[in-house]
Structure 1
Amino acid sequence: MFPLKRVCVLLAIGFLPVAAFGFPLNSKKAPESEADLLSIQEALQEAIPKAKAATVCVDLGNGTGSGVIVTEDGLVMTAAHVSTGVGKLVTIIMPDGTRLEATSLGLVADVDAALIQITEKLPGDKKFPVVEINRDNDTKLADWIFSLGHSGGFDQARGAVARIGRLVRVANSTFQTDGTLIGGDSGGPLFDMDGRLIGIHSRVGPQLPVNMHVPVGQFLENWDGMLASEFIGEGPFAAKPEKGKGFLGIITEKAEGGILVTKVGKNSPAESAGIFEGDLLVSLDGEQLESREGLQDALAEMVAGNLLVFEVIRDGKNETIEVRLGSR
């Protein structure tokens, strides 16, 4: 850390402010002076607090990744291989350790882009912290960047880890940087030195400083489809769910007015949603249930992650129960 007095002197003699003219070192092959190093320090000090506040951990239950919040109602950008699919229930961990329920929306399987919606509100109904997306498409080869991510998993005392580097390759669907990433960083944000989001971490290279990122342009091109929970494209980053592979976890029999639940599987989606033995299932997604076969036929057209809405009669009272199918 350089003395504050020296920083003020350098600014006074005409060093270009980052916010007004963009980051001046992008045009240089390498820092040439102490003033250049100070400009990097200044840019990071200004941008990182807001960026860290919106960088979250994505807890999948059997592993974790990272993501970044981009709307005040809790929309998270991450990688498709982190979200793992459409309609998945995940947990978002905020920087202060607050755990919030969330659901994966759509994804683009061939470029590793995905959206997750936080479905639980912050304490006090506060708005979510957000970062600015760079929509100008002005990212260039050799630009300085910094990355954030929950390296190795969430650690509240440490927080998201920041790394600095440069863009070494710019393509339509991929950025490559020489910053350092490790497991747990996947899905985390890549920023320009003005603190604008320019990409999402995708592939951690076999060598630590060789990493690939999804440019935000790929998200913007597919934004409406992802918001609509569409599975877009075919590729290595997510497997398209198969019809009939959804798991509900109940045994039923025909009964007057619907079908009767005779057994609920332990730790099944049905049990988690609050379906009990003895419930009478009257309808599914507004359609009357008249037989076990009718329910089986409906499930055969669905995939893991689909949300089912049952009308149920329990103890003479009507209830509505939502169940999200698991996978077999």
Structure 2
Amino acid sequence: MKSFFTTNSPINSLWKSACALALSACLLGSQQSFAKVLPFNEAKAPATKEDLIAIQNALMESSKRARKATVSISLGQGFGSGVIVSPEGLILTAAHVSAGVDKDLTVIMNDGTEHKAVSMGLIANTDAAMMRITDEGNYPYVEINKENDYKLGHWVFAFGHSGGFDKDRGPVLRLGRIVKDSETTLHTDCKVIGGDSGGPLFDMEGRLIGIHSRVSQTMEENMHVPMREYIKHWDDMKQNKFIGDGPFAKRPVKGSGFIGLGTSDSEDGLLVGKVGKDTPAEKAGIEAGDIILAMNGKDIADKDTFKSELKEMSEGDKVELKISRKGEEKTIKFRLGKR
């Protein structure tokens, strides 16, 4: 781990802290904001009881807002974590947690309140992802450290719903330091386990600097996606774009979607003849004898048109069918299954 001071003497620490404060004051006129000077960040190790108390006080103050904004994400057969970064409910998480674009998810707040959410864009090769809560509300959120002004050896803290959501326990906090930094990966010794994936990493001011991605060969070195990776692709992710090719998310395969019904052309339109048992079609409420009029806003005149549209769709894609049943038009919404 890189050290910035050659000695841990109190006099040296005070002198360097004073110099740093003076420099920051001089720069105030030319910068709108700058990081606080935290002397314990520049020391090789805490030298006194006061140093430890300073770290503790900074952690207690900065973690209050961070804890409220850290959420658990229900994946159906497991849990991940995420963090809210806007009052409207925009969430940053890991690509291997969201597992795709436009997927329905459930967000669990610390008090157990559940909200519907949908995944947005992701970066498959670096493990970054974005999602949003679809329920309207004013949500607790955190500030992003857009300056990336942290250094090796700086103290940081991690939050995450380790092992899944637990209302009585809440998100688990881990304190550590930055041990390595590269363009797309930030390494710390904050221990994270299953359920923490997608959770937030903060500097000691409570600003978001990374998202938990994976664990190295030992739990002493954990990997996080730095905020610069999110900022770089921010607009594309908000537009629900799938960026990169693995290994953290698989790109949708066209033609892999399955609906589970048999159709035939008729004078009235595309006639549903048979609906498979336990298929997406049956679960959505489609019945034999229904006439399919349109799919996702496009008129369906015959079987060939229907099959052609399905070939362009993938497993998990949303479908909106307009049907006629005994002379009455209905709209049925569901998602395609896996072929």
Return the TM-score normalized by structure 1: 0.87
- 1:35 matches 2:46: no
Contact 1:257 1:282 in 2 (8 A): no
CA shift in 2, pair 1:116/1:293, >3 Å: same
What are the equivalent positions in structure 2 for 1:79-158 lying under 5 Å apart? 79-121=94-136, 126-158=137-169
Instruction: Measure, in 2, the Cα distance between the counterparts of 1:41 and 1:276.
Output: 63
Does residue 1:49 correspond to 2:64, yes or no?
yes
Q: Give the % identical residues.
A: 50
Verify the 8 A CA contact 2:35 2:149 in the aligned structure 1: no
Once the two structures are superposed, residues 107-131 of structure 1 have per-residue CA deviations (whole angstroms, 9 ceiling, x without a partner) of 101100011122234xxxx311111
Matches within 5 A, 1:55-66: 55-66=70-81
Per-residue CA deviations over 1:74-97 (Å, capped at 9, x if unaligned) read: 211110111111122221111111
Cα distance, 1:311 vs structure 2: 2.0
Structure 1: tracts of 5 or more residues without a match:
1-13
Shift of 1:40: 1.2
Equivalent residue for 2:332, pick from 321, 324, 327: 321
For 2:227, which of 196, 208, 216 is the aligned residue?
Answer: 216
Pair 23,182 (structure 1): closer, same or farther in 2 beyond 3 Å: same
Indicate if the aligned counterparts of 1:53 and 1:95 stay in contact, CA closer than 8 A.
Answer: yes
- The 1:20–1:185 alpha-carbon spacing in structure 2 relative to 1, beyond 3 Å, is closer
**Separation (CA, whole Å) in 2 of partners of 1:175 and 1:220:** 15
| Residue 188 (structure 1) aligns with | 199
Moved more, 165-174 or 272-281: 272-281
For 1:295 and 1:51, the matched residues in 2 are separated by: 49
Aligned counterpart, 1:279: 290
What is the aligned counterpart of 2:41 among 3, 14, 26?
A: 26
CA deviation profile, 1:167-222 (whole Å, cap 9, x unmatched): 00011101000111111111100000000000000012232221000001101111
Q: Report SS of the residue matched to 2:310.
A: helix
2:106 partner SS: strand
CA RMSD of aligned residues (A): 2.2
Check 1:298–1:27 CA distance in 2 against 1; reply closer, same or farther (3 A cut).
same
Residue correspondence of structure 1 range 258-297 to structure 2 within 5 A: 258-297=269-308
Q: Higher Cα Rg: structure 1 or 2?
A: 2
Deviation at 1:249, TM superposition (A): 3.0
Count the aligned residue pairs: 309
The equivalent residue for 1:8 is none
Contact conserved, 2:158 with 2:200, CA < 8 A, in 1? yes
Instruction: Report what 2:311 is aligned to.
Output: 300
Of 235, 240, 244, 2:251 maps to 240
Do the aligned partners of 1:165 and 1:177 also contact (CA within 8 Å) in 2?
A: yes
Does the 8 A contact of 1:246 with 1:303 survive in 2? yes
Q: CA deviation at 1:267?
A: 4.7
Distance 1:24 1:278, change over 3 A: farther
Instruction: Give the Cα separation in 2 of the matches to 1:23 and 1:315.
Output: 72
TM-score by length of structure 2 reads 0.85
CA distance in 2, matches of 1:260, 1:84: 35
Structure 2: stretches of 5+ with no match in the other structure: 1-16, 22-33
Which residue identity is paired with 2:116? Answer: E
Which residue of the partner structure matches residue 5 of structure 1? none
The aligned residue for residue 11 of structure 2 is none
Aligned-pair CA distance for 1:252 = 2.7
2:12 aligns to what? none
2:238 counterpart residue number:
227
